[in-house]
Amino acid sequence: MTVPSVTLNDGNTIPQLGYGVFRVPPADTERAVTEALEVGYRHIDTAAIYGNEEGVGAAIAASGIPRDELFITTKLWNDRHDGDEPDAAIAESLARLGLEHVDLYLVHWPTPARDNYLHAWEKLIALREAGLTRSIGVSNHLVEHLEKIVAATGVVPAVDQIELHPAYQQRDITDWAASRGMHIESWGPLGQGKYDLFGAEPVAAAAAAHGKTPAQAVLRWHLQKGFIVFPKSVRRERLQENLDVFDFELTPEEVAAIDAMDPGDGSGRVSAHPDEVN
């Protein structure tokens, strides 16, 4: 089974479905990532703040999978934006991962109260030029943050990784991205279990129509919207289930019904607002 790839605005390709290790305990990470690689994942998304880069690196090293067959993402944490801190931060992440470069490096949050995300973005451009990361992007950046960094540097991020699920679709950002060739990565793609997503009629109906689970129906919705998605699980059977989403397609009507689940007033957000994370 081959996960389809999408081409980023810098010409690099990324598997559209990967494995995210947010909140995977460090002690469990090597086992979980090993199992993900065994069942077919080749795209792993981690971050310095998760505290589990070492486990990701250990699993990669033990896997025997050629480096060019893997896509590894990590992220710059909020207190490392200033001065030469991004240089030190990526060096530390690479050491923990046991890699010479990552495939994607992200500014994790814009931290607008600190107002140094533009400097962080300028440093990421230099890190890419130095070959320490193949692609660069951002996470949790709103349109105003994106407009500022692009106006100053002329470099559009390859991705913006944002909270995105049926109840909270952030259409202002997805529209901005679509008009500028930036891809969206969905974090919390299943709503982090914080509302009854699977019991919602459009999701349940789509799952029943295709003989799939509600989770598979929602992941398929993300894929058909063109989003890059990485659900998290520490159970092998769920890892396999999340990967088993390429043998069916939602109808346009099913996609539209799930689209309509967002009330449009921002009330569906289940995590922190980017303006509040500094």
Q: Which residues are catalytic?
A: 50
Maximum C-alpha span of the chain: 54
Question: Measuring CA to CA, how many Å separate 55 from each of 25, 32, 52, 161?
Answer: 9, 9, 5, 22
Phi, psi of 272 (to 5 degrees): -70, 150
Residue 154: other Cβ atoms inside 10 A? 8
Residue 264 has a CB neighbour count (10 Å cut-off) of: 10
**Token digits of residue 218:** 């929602």
Instruction: Give first-to-last CA distance, the chain, whole Å.
Output: 41
Query: How far apart are the C-alpha atoms of 100 and 106, rounded to whole Å?
Result: 17
